[in-house]
């Protein structure tokens, strides 16, 4: 990703519709995953997604007449980032959604910024810890316990699926500061870097999927039209078009402000899960999701925790 300069003040109408479109695309991706795993092993679903995304981004590069990275070190970092930011989490979400509703997976995706912070502070040292961020993490952790229904001893049936989606969010949280530290300083466009990540993820999944599943990939014509369209949507929209739109918003309003799309994604994942798939959730799962998002907002500085400043008695008297 190329270094982003301080953006000019863009009017709301220039970036808000794009942000809503991004939230809808990424929020609906959990619906597409839920449909895809009906007929595809999660590893092959993830493989189809990275292939479709790679095709879209390579086509964009061809139209823009841009090239892929040539530095071997960039490809080495892209290989790592492709694994922890695409291949592994997308596979984990697939396995998770074999066990839990898509809307719940979308809620777990919302914890990603909470994972990013401690990893960025403690491992990559690209962020600075503060009291406010600590408060945000504590609020977010409380929300995670609420989503899990930690007080319920009979909720273990869903814990495996929820744990897999939580682990996927952890890998997202690891990938973001990794890319910031090792890839963000390059002058290459975000499209070129993203294409490199997806190509690396494609190679990884093409090798691992047949070994783990012990079966050849199913022929596309053997799948239902719903599953085929879901794979195409995951790759072309969620991994292709959405990236281009996100880069546009980053240039308009900056990386921090554009990351607010994270707060909107669970809303769309819940809506499409209930309306399209007729999924059901218990009261505490969306409530816990709201608490998680509150923690994210506090930790990211969107909501500030004000501390009263002590005023000397002399000054107060004067």
The pLDDT assigned to 300 comes to 66
Q: Cα separation of 76 and 69, whole Å?
A: 11
318 residues of the chain, pLDDT tens digit each? 333 444 446 777 888 888 889 889 989 999 999 999 999 999 999 999 999 999 999 999 999 999 999 999 999 999 999 999 899 999 999 999 999 999 889 888 878 777 777 887 788 776 677 888 788 888 888 887 888 776 665 555 478 898 999 999 899 888 878 887 888 778 888 889 889 999 999 999 999 999 999 999 999 999 999 999 999 999 999 888 887 787 777 667 655 566 667 777 888 888 899 899 888 878 888 888 888 888 877 876 767 766 555 455 444 444
**Residues 6+ positions from 10 with CB-CB distance below 8 Å:** 252, 253
Q: Please provide the DSSP assignment of 255-296 as one string.
A: HHHHTTHHHHHHHHHHHHHHHTS-----THHHHHHHHHHHHH
The pLDDT assigned to 174 comes to 87
The pLDDT assigned to 179 comes to 83
Domain layout of the chain by residue ranges? 12-300
The pLDDT assigned to 58 comes to 96
* Cβ atoms 54, 226 nearer than 8 A: no
The pLDDT assigned to 57 comes to 94
- State the pTM of this model: 0.83
Token code pair at residue 147: 């989503």
The pLDDT assigned to 298 comes to 83
Token code pair at residue 111: 């914890």
The pLDDT assigned to 155 comes to 52
The pLDDT assigned to 4 comes to 40
Q: Cα separation of 19 and 7, whole Å?
A: 16
Token code pair at residue 305: 């925790």
Query: What distance, in Å, lies between the first and last C-alpha atoms of the chain?
Result: 55
């Amino acid at each position: 990703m190329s270094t982003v300069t301080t953006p000019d003040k863009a009017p709301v109408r220039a970036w808000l519709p794009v942000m809503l479109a991004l939230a809808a695309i990424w929020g609906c991706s959990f619906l597409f995953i839920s449909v895809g795993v009906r007929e595809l092993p999660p590893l092959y679903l993830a493989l189809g997604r990275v292939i479709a995304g790679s095709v879209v981004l390579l086509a964009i590069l061809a139209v823009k007449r841009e090239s892929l990275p040539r530095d071997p070190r960039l490809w080495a970092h892209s290989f790592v980032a492709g694994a922890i930011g695409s291949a592994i989490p997308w596979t984990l979400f697939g396995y998770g959604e074999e066990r839990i509703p898509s809307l719940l997976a979308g809620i777990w995706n919302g914890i990603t910024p909470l994972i990013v912070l401690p990893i960025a502070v403690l491992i990559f040292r690209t962020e600075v810890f503060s009291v406010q961020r600590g408060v945000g993490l504590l609020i977010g952790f409380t929300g995670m316990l609420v989503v899990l229904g930690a007080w319920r001893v009979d909720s273990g049936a869903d814990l495996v699926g929820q744990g897999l989606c939580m682990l996927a969010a952890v890998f997202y949280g690891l990938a973001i500061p990794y890319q910031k530290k090792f890839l963000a300083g390059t002058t290459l466009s975000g499209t070129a870097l993203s294409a490199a990540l997806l190509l690396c993820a494609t190679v990884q999944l093409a090798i691992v999927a047949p070994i783990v599943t012990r079966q050849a990939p199913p022929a596309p014509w053997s799948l239902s039209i719903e599953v085929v369209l879901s794979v195409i949507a995951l790759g072309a929209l969620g991994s292709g078009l959405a990236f281009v739109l996100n880069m546009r918003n980053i240039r308009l309003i900056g990386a921090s402000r554009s990351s607010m799309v994270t707060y909107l994604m669970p809303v769309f994942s819940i809506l499409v899960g209930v309306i399209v798939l007729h999924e059901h959730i218990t009261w505490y799962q969306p409530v816990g999701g709201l608490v998680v998002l509150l923690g994210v907002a506090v930790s990211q500085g969107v909501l500030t925790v004000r501390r009263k400043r002590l005023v000397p008695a002399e000054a107060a008297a004067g």
